[in-house]
Amino acid sequence: MKKIYLDHGATTQANPDVLEAMLPYFSEFYGNPSSIHSFGRETKKALEEAREKVAAGIGAEPREIIFTSGGTESDNIAIRGAARALQKKGNHLITSSVEHHAVLDACLALKEEGYELTVLPVDEYGMVSVKDVEAAITNKTILISIMMANNEVGTVMPVAEIGKMARERGITFHTDAVQAIGLLPLNVNDLYCDLLSLSAHKFYGPKGVGILYVRKGTKLDVFNFGGAQERKMRPGTENVPGIIGMGKAVEVAVADREKRSARISSLRDKLIQGLLKIEDTRLNGHPEQRLPGNVNVSVKYVEGESMILSLDLKGIAASSGSACTSGSLDPSHVLIAMGLDHQLAHGSLRMTLGTDNTEEEIDYVLAVMPEIVARLRSMSSVYASSKKE
Amino acid sequence: MREVYLDNSATTPVLPEVAAVMHKIHTDTYGNPSSLHRMGVEAEKIKRRARRTLADACSVKESEIYFTSGGTEANNLAVMGVARRLRRRGLHLVTTQVEHPSVLYACRLLEQEGFALTYLPVDREGIVSPAAVADAMRADTLLVSVMHVNNEVGAIQPLAEIGALIKKNNSETLFHVDAVQSFGKLPVQPLLWQADLVTFSAHKLHGPKGVGALYKRQAVHMEPFFHGGGQEDGLRPGTENMAGIGGFAEAARLATAKLSAHALALSKLKKNFSAGILAAIPDICWNSSEEGAPHILNISVAGTRGEVLVHALAEEGVYISTGAACHSRRPELSHVLLAMGRKEKDVEAALRFSFSPLNTEEALVYALEKLQAAVLSIRRVTRR
Ligand SMILES: Cc1ncc(COP(=O)(O)O)c(C=O)c1O
Ligand SMILES: Cc1ncc(COP(=O)(O)O)c(C=O)c1O
């Protein structure tokens, strides 16, 4: 059977070069980087080389890079760490209603602890407005967190403008760039960010390892305690092979980015155009300010989950929202924030393209989709009654 | 040059079988377990199987195992997560002076947050007295945290006795055990210990670095550190380190299948190596006892400095440590040996040899030879 993977927003397959880079660090160079003997020093050196690669890839300095266990941890330590460290300065946080739960729920937890929180609305395309951010800022604002690109609908936010505004006002700015790296230009200086989160498995690296960029001078309270790893910002024996794989993955992601993005964008556009030819469908997210790999459509009168299961039977892996929430029955908070009604939100289908997808695969998807939709609609009572009217 | 790695308490090499499992996850079953499609379902299956393997290895329920990014995170989560969640019930915690820094520093932070901590002393062997635990408990004691095997000296704590006394005193007081150093070498028995929380880390038993687990008894409630996509029942969200989890389970399966054979082999290695040292090098202060864990031997070589010997042996291809790995970069005196009442100069002279089933008798003979030579040459210089 065909196996077409259109769920790169959920996770990606590790690049063979990444795996090869990791391999020696399991059984050959296995020392603990904290050990003083040469076994330890070897792995420590490799760890620092990975740090340099990551830093070079995003325009940072090596000592501004902290290795974490993934995007969720990076987001959480950025938000809580900054909020805690800046408590004396103020207690107001700004974020958006379409952030990943790692950001949104970390902010909501702080709200319960007594912080003031503004959750900005988005427009029908899922876009945060710079003006809204500006209007929300008070003299108590200590942190703004706006994602670079949305994981569900792919909307690319005006983070550089927001970052610049935050910088001018001395407010710490965090951006979740988990979905953006390797697809959008990403330089921490151009983005004016103080904190930036990345997760290796979204850009062809291994799962369970991530990055937090912390601009020099940014105040951040520590979360975990133990050894002196990661300059005490993130103690615990390092996931050495994971980190080395991630260093390689960053290198691969930023090389050839433009060519890759252009190719994936054109596949995306073809897929969107084809899907919109199906009656009663609509595109979710921004028509232009959109991640190269993101396709998100709502198919009226059909449940997103039914489509996913039908597509799965045809060998096509897709999702109905973010992977983490696709197991739950709640409609996507992103689509609701964009003003979709529950029916359209439940009928959403996300296909996220990656480097390995081909034009033939897109043709195949477009060939099977109309029959899947027609079959599911034929079983839908809502559809039947709507057509009677 | 010949290489003999005797720093297995710092970390271990990943076994080929474990690396193979991990490689397959990276290349074949790379789906996100939260995804609904087949790739996701397959990944979820791997995770469930891994959870069962770990649960079976210590006779607990599958639903009580939570994966983390390692031992440090699991220890932090256990201690701080419980304290913060149960704050209204009490403000007192009990631990020992010889815990790993990931427990000790978490406790110190809790002190800053207004909790009262009791750090129990240990005897010359590094053992905490169960009666002292019971005496230290107050009506508002939320948690007692005692490690199973000490990472620097290998002392084994009498956990069953401690657990029984804790629960007899106050059935509401929770009991946390750091089993990072014992898992895969000694039976880890949360039920026998009456432990509510137990910490594991994969890289100490020939599994990968950067993955660990926390056993949490069903009825225990705690505050998570992170918020996010709801993975691990919301206790530890974030896309799972799938290869790490699969590798951890394989390492645990291999280790527990041969648990008693390995323990026997390790004991023999340790016994013979100790006898060799005793015969070859005078003026040794023994920091590990025969009753201690079979894989850790800590000695102080009078008239030397531990760090110097570690470097001298490394030049001969013999890799050991002065104590805990995360301490090694700082010339700090071991809090464990100080708590055991060792004199400062003995603490400075401490060496830790830690074994794995991959080590051979013959390799240890080589290591002993190099140790003897290094000690001799250092003493010749310093004892003039
Ligand atoms: C935008 C965004 N932020 C954060 C995360 C969390 O990353 P991880 O799953 O690696 O913890 C994800 C992925 O699920 C994401 O898409
Ligand atoms: C007793 C003990 N607890 C906890 C840890 C921390 O585990 P990890 O290195 O996986 O963070 C270690 C290892 O350093 C240890 O020896």
Instruction: Quote the pLDDT of residue B19.
Output: 97
* A38 band by pLDDT with thresholds 50, 70 and 90: confident
The rounded Å distance from CA A177 to ligand 1 centre is: 9
**Beta strands A316-317 and A4-5: pairing type?**
parallel
The domain boundary, picked from B257, B282, B298, lies at: B257
Instruction: Quote the pLDDT of residue A328.
Output: 58
List the CATH number of the domain containing B223: 3.40.640.10
Cα torsion A67, A73, A78, A83: sign? negative
The domain boundary, picked from B257, B289, B309, lies at: B257
Judge if B207 and B319 occupy the same domain: no
Whose alpha carbon is nearest atom 4 of ligand 1? A71
Range from A72-81, A223-232, A322-331, B30-39 carrying the lowest mean pLDDT: A322-331
Q: Does B224 touch chain A (CB under 8 A)?
A: no
Instruction: Quote the pLDDT of residue A109.
Output: 96
* CA–centroid distance for B352 within its chain: 14
The three-class DSSP label of residue B33 is coil
Instruction: Quote the pLDDT of residue B330.
Output: 54
Nearest CA in chain A to B247: A26
Token duo for residue B8:
């297995």
Q: Does B228 touch chain A (CB under 8 A)?
A: yes
Shortest-distance atom of ligand 2 to CA B202: 10
Burial of B31 (0-12, 13-18, 19+ CB in 10 A): buried
* CA–centroid distance for B220 within its chain: 22
How large is the average pLDDT for residues A138-148? 98
Whose CA is closest to A316, among A351, A278, A286? Answer: A351
Cα torsion B138, B141, B147, B152: sign? negative
**What is the number of the ligand closest to the CA of A78?**
1
The rounded Å distance from CA A158 to ligand 1 centre is: 19
The answer to whether the CB of B71 falls within 8 A of the CB of B213 is no
List the CATH number of the domain containing B354: 3.90.1150.10
Instruction: Quote the pLDDT of residue B332.
Output: 77
Residues of chain A contacting B206 with CB distance shorter than 8 Å: none
Among A199, A212, A291, A326, say which to mutate for ligand 1: greatest number of ligand atoms within 8 Å of CB: A199
List pLDDT tens digits, range A341-384: 988 999 999 999 999 999 999 999 999 999 999 999 998 888 88
Inter-chain residue contact B30 with A322, CB threshold 8 Å? no
pLDDT greater than 60 at residue A322: no
Rg (CA), chain B: 21
Give the count of Cβ contacts less than 8 A between chain A and B: 282
Q: What is the ipTM of this complex?
A: 0.91
Q: Does B48 touch chain A (CB under 8 A)?
A: no
* DSSP per-residue letters across B165-232: HHHHH-TTSEEEEE-TTTBTTB---HHHHT-SEEEEEGGGTTS-TT-EEEEE-TT-----S--SS-TG
* A326 band by pLDDT with thresholds 50, 70 and 90: very low
B58 is catalytic: no
CA distance B340 to B15: 35
Judge if B141 and B88 occupy the same domain: yes
Judge if B248 and B274 occupy the same domain: no
Q: Does B12 touch chain A (CB under 8 A)?
A: yes
Judge if B196 and B289 occupy the same domain: no
Q: Which of residues 300-339 of B touch A (CB under 8 A)?
A: 307, 310-311, 313-314, 319-322, 324-330
Instruction: Quote the pLDDT of residue B375.
Output: 96
Length of chain B measured in residues: 384
> Which among A7, A73, A241 has CB closest to B208?
A241
Number of domains in chain B: 2
pLDDT > 70 fraction of chain B, expressed in percent and rounded: 97
How large is the average pLDDT for residues B146-166? 98
Inter-chain residue contact A208 with B240, CB threshold 8 Å? yes
pLDDT greater than 60 at residue A327: no
> Across chain A, what does the average pLDDT equal?
95
* A323 band by pLDDT with thresholds 50, 70 and 90: very low
Instruction: Quote the pLDDT of residue B224.
Output: 92
> Which among A32, A109, A309 has CB closest to B11?
A32
Judge if B278 and B171 occupy the same domain: no
CA distance A231 to B11: 20
pLDDT greater than 50 at residue B328: no
Judge if B325 and B202 occupy the same domain: no
Instruction: Quote the pLDDT of residue B382.
Output: 77
Judge if B370 and B251 occupy the same domain: no
The rounded Å distance from CA A280 to ligand 1 centre is: 31
Token duo for residue B304:
């030397």
State which residues form the domain around B30. 16-257
Q: How far is CA B4 from CA A144, A250, B357, B362, in A?
A: 52, 35, 13, 10
Reported as type and span, the H/E element at residue B119 is strand B116-120
**What is the number of the ligand closest to the CA of A72?**
1
Reported as type and span, the H/E element at residue B56 is helix B38-57
The domain boundary, picked from B240, B257, B274, lies at: B257
Judge if B265 and B156 occupy the same domain: no
The 3-class SS string of chain A reads: CCCEECECCCCCCCCHHHHHHHCHHHHCCCCCCCCCCHHHHHHHHHHHHHHHHHHHHHCCCHHHEEEECCHHHHHHHHHHHHHHHCCCCCCEEEEECCCCHHHHHHHHHHHHCCCEEEEECCCCCCCCCHHHHHHHCCCCEEEEECCCECCCCCEECCHHHHHHHHHHCCCEEEEECCCCECCECCCCCCCCCCEEEEEHHHHCCCCCCEEEEECCCCCCCCCCCCCCHHHHCCCCCCCHHHHHHHHHHHHHHHCCHHHHHHHHHHHHHHHHHHHHCCCCEEECCCCCCECCCEEEEEECCCCHHHHHHHHHHCCEECECCCHHHCCCCCCCHHHHHCCCCHHHHHCEEEEECCCCCCHHHHHHHHHHHHHHHHHHHHCCHHHHHHHHC
Residue B247 CB coordination number (10 Å)? 31
**Residue A217 to chain B, least CA–CA distance (Å):** 23
Amino acid letter, residue A132: D
pLDDT greater than 60 at residue B43: yes
Judge if B171 and B287 occupy the same domain: no
Inter-chain residue contact A207 with B227, CB threshold 8 Å? no
Catalytic residue among A276, A313, A324, A384: A324
Judge if B298 and B347 occupy the same domain: yes
* pTM of the predicted model as reported, rounded to 2 decimal places: 0.94
More confident residue, B71 or B333: B71
Residue A389 CB coordination number (10 Å)? 4
H helices present in B281-334, as ranges = 306-315
**Residue B113 to chain A, least CA–CA distance (Å):** 13
Judge if B253 and B264 occupy the same domain: no
Instruction: Quote the pLDDT of residue A223.
Output: 83
Judge if B313 and B251 occupy the same domain: no
pLDDT greater than 70 at residue A324: no
Whose alpha carbon is nearest atom 7 of ligand 1? A71
The three-class DSSP label of residue B94 is strand
List pLDDT tens digits, range A197-227: 999 999 999 999 999 999 999 999 988 888 8
